[in-house]
Amino acid sequence: MEIYVKLILSFNVSDMDFQNQTLLKNIKNSISETVPKKKIGVAFSGGVDSTLVSKICSDMGFDVVLLTIGFSESHDILFSKEVNEFLKYSHHILEIDSETFPTITSNIRNVIDTDNLSWNENCIAFHYVSKLAKSLNLDTVITGNGIDELFCGYNVYREAFSGGEIRINEVMELKLDNELKMMKAVNIVASEFNVKILQPLLSAPFIEYAKTVPISEKIHSSDDLFRKHIVRKLASDVGVPEISCTKRKKALQYGSKIHKSLVKIR
């Protein structure tokens, strides 16, 4: 812990290489242009994406409240607590009630009117995030959505690697299109609580910038289990706890146990 604190105190933007300085600048610009309020909730799993966004927002002077949801003893609840032992931000957790879960999932499916399992799972997750935010008098929640799409965070990018940059970029366009549409559905669900879910890293300027980052800074091979290398390096540089920087991706619906519970009742 003492070593970690010293690393934060000694951090200086000039210590970063040019690529990381540029990434940090673009993240900050996108947050400034997207987030209108200083007190915000951050959808938080403890993974590198949500932790990086939380850390940068805090460093920018935002009043950050971490919001974690999941079933009791789920990965995200346990891991987010572990990561926040280092950050020490305001952190609130909502445990999903298994008895009311089937009714809520049914209502959400009717609202967004799709059989897309991933969309349903994410909308369910953000229903609970929005409910938690509302209980804390927060009406603005930001997410790290966009990082996985733009920096090759998904396993599908490993499968695409053998097809070269053309294939990787084709997958990226498909992933971005899906994510942008899905987050519109998420905000329909969140509107029940008068909460707005913002994705600064899916803004048009940030997408345009991220596409200029060399693929070699994102993924190294078809065997690359970590990916998002430039993001992980930046996270380490700005003081994100190492357990978060090196954590392999676990999607929200799996880390919260929503996928497991939803499959049981479908």
pLDDT in tens, 112-166: 999 899 999 999 999 999 999 999 999 999 999 999 999 999 999 999 999 999 9
262 pLDDT band, cuts 50/70/90, is: confident
Q: What is the reported pLDDT for 254? A: 87
pLDDT in tens, 72-84: 999 999 999 999 9
Q: Name the nearest CA neighbour of 232 among 159, 220, 93.
A: 220
Query: Residue 64 forms beta bridges with which residues?
Result: 40
- Across the range 41-61, mean pLDDT stands at 98
Sheet arrangement for strand 196-198: 90-95, 63-70, 39-43, 140-142, 196-198
Higher pLDDT, 263 or 138: 138
Task: Check the CA dihedral 186-76-266-98 and report its sign.
Answer: negative
Q: What is the reported pLDDT for 222? A: 97
* CA separation for the pair 174, 149 (Å, rounded): 9
Q: Is the pLDDT of residue 95 over 50?
A: yes
Q: What is the reported pLDDT for 10? A: 37
* CA separation for the pair 1, 7 (Å, rounded): 10
> Mean pLDDT, the chain, as a whole number?
93
Percent above pLDDT 90 for the chain: 87
Q: What is the reported pLDDT for 9? A: 35
Q: Is the pLDDT of residue 2 over 50?
A: no
Q: What is the reported pLDDT for 210? A: 98
Q: What is the reported pLDDT for 266? A: 65
For residue 185, what are its two tokens?
A: 């559905």
End-to-end CA distance of the chain: 45
Question: Class of 37-265 per CATH?
Answer: alpha beta
Largest CA distance in the chain: 52
The domain ranges of the chain are 37-265
Give yes or no for a contact between 89 and 96, defined as CB atoms under 8 angstroms apart: no
- Across the range 24-34, mean pLDDT stands at 98
Q: What is the reported pLDDT for 99? A: 95
Percent above pLDDT 70 for the chain: 94
Q: What is the reported pLDDT for 207? A: 98
pLDDT in tens, 194-252: 999 999 999 999 999 999 999 999 999 999 999 999 999 999 999 999 999 999 888 88
Give yes or no for a contact between 155 and 216, defined as CB atoms under 8 angstroms apart: no
Per DSSP, the three-state class of 19 is helix
Q: Is the pLDDT of residue 15 over 80?
A: no
